[in-house]
Structure 1
Amino acid sequence: MIYSVALLICLILAPLLAHFRGRKPAGLFFAVAAVYAVFGAVSFVQTQIVLRQVREAEPAYHDTYYVVSHGHFLVTIGIAMAVIGAITWVQTRFGAMRYPGLTKLLFWILHIALIGTSFQGVLASILPKPRKYIDYSKFMETYALLSSWSGFLSQVALLGLLCLLLWSIMAKWLLR
């Protein structure tokens, strides 16, 4: 629980600080990528500690859902943000960045949507899990719908961001 709250605070504060310091769009992507990388690594370490304890106590539960790390979600999002940040940095470096304000706006839409999508596990760890899908409360149904729409919004923002980056590169290339 404390780990999830710390991750959420860092995911909000890191890009906000970069934004308020006037960093270029690439700085926002790199700030978020660093936070995802650090917390993904911490998640892997926590899982190894839990696995070591489970192996000694109950070998039957070694590879169950309860001890498998979900740090790979954080690491893959961090890698994707770092790649987009590198592309954005190259564009800025070579003067191909045409719409930095729109790039920052799409970054924030993507980032907020990814937070909404990836924090499904936070509520799942807090709320009790019934054995049957039909026994879930109305709140979990609403949260699943919100998470689905957040995933859709993140895909639309990612597609818009990639199209904007490609458009900027093509506009720079055509002006030559």
Structure 2
Amino acid sequence: MIYSVTLLFGLILAPLLVQLRGYKPAALFFTVAAVYAVFGAASFARIQIALSQVREAEPAYQETYYVMSHAYFLLNIGIAMAVFGAITLAQTRFGVMRYPGLTKLLFWILHITLIGSTSFQGVLAFILPKPRRYIDYPEFMETYLLIISWSGVLSQAALLGLLCLLLWSITARWLAS
């Protein structure tokens, strides 16, 4: 639980400090990529340590979903944010960045919705009970699932908007030349 809460605070405070210091949009993407990379590596290491402590005589514990690491979620998001950071850095260096304010806005929409659709689930995994049957879940889970679903939809829209904006900046510079 401490790991998940620390991850959420890191994902919120790190880019917020970068934003308040007035850095370029690329710094936002690289900061979040670093946070995701650190916590993804820590998650992977944590599960490997847990698996190494399971004795060979207990094979039943080695083949269940209880020992599964979800570090790839964090690492994949970190890689995507690093790629966006590299693109925005290249655009800034070559003078192609047309809308840095809109890029930052789309970054925040993407980032907050990614927290809502992926990282928020990690914190709730320790708080909520895990019934085996769908019918046994409490009724407030419907609201929780709606939040996750809409976060996923909004993150895809922000991702598409960010891609279109970055491609438009490159295209507009190329057509102006």
TM-score range, shorter chain: over 0.9
Task: Using structure 1 for the length normalisation, give the TM-score.
Answer: 0.97
Q: Give structure 1 regions of 4+ aligned residues with deviation exceeding 3 angstroms.
A: none
Displacement of 1:54 in angstroms is 2.2
Gaps of 5+ in 1: none
2:14 matched to 1:51?
Answer: no
Tell me the matched-pair count. Answer: 176
Paired with 2:33 and 2:45, the residues of 1 have a C-alpha distance of: 18
The aligned residue for residue 144 of structure 2 is 143
2:131 matched to 1:157?
Answer: no
Displacement of 1:57 in angstroms is 6.2
Residues 128 and 71 (structure 1), Cα distance of their counterparts in 2 relative to 1, 3 Å cut: same
Q: What is the root-mean-square deviation of aligned Cα atoms in Å? A: 1.0
Does the CA-based 8 Å contact 1:47-1:68 persist in structure 2? Answer: yes
Does the CA-based 8 Å contact 1:55-1:62 persist in structure 2? Answer: no
Task: Using structure 2 for the length normalisation, give the TM-score.
Answer: 0.96
Does the CA-based 8 Å contact 2:4-2:122 persist in structure 1? Answer: no
| Amino-acid identity (%) | 76
Displacement of 1:121 in angstroms is 2.9
Displacement of 1:48 in angstroms is 0.5
Displacement of 1:115 in angstroms is 0.2
The aligned residue for residue 79 of structure 1 is 79
Structure 1 range deviating more: 58-67 or 33-42: 58-67
2:132 matched to 1:122?
Answer: no
Gaps of 5+ in 2: none
Structure 1 range deviating more: 122-131 or 86-95: 122-131
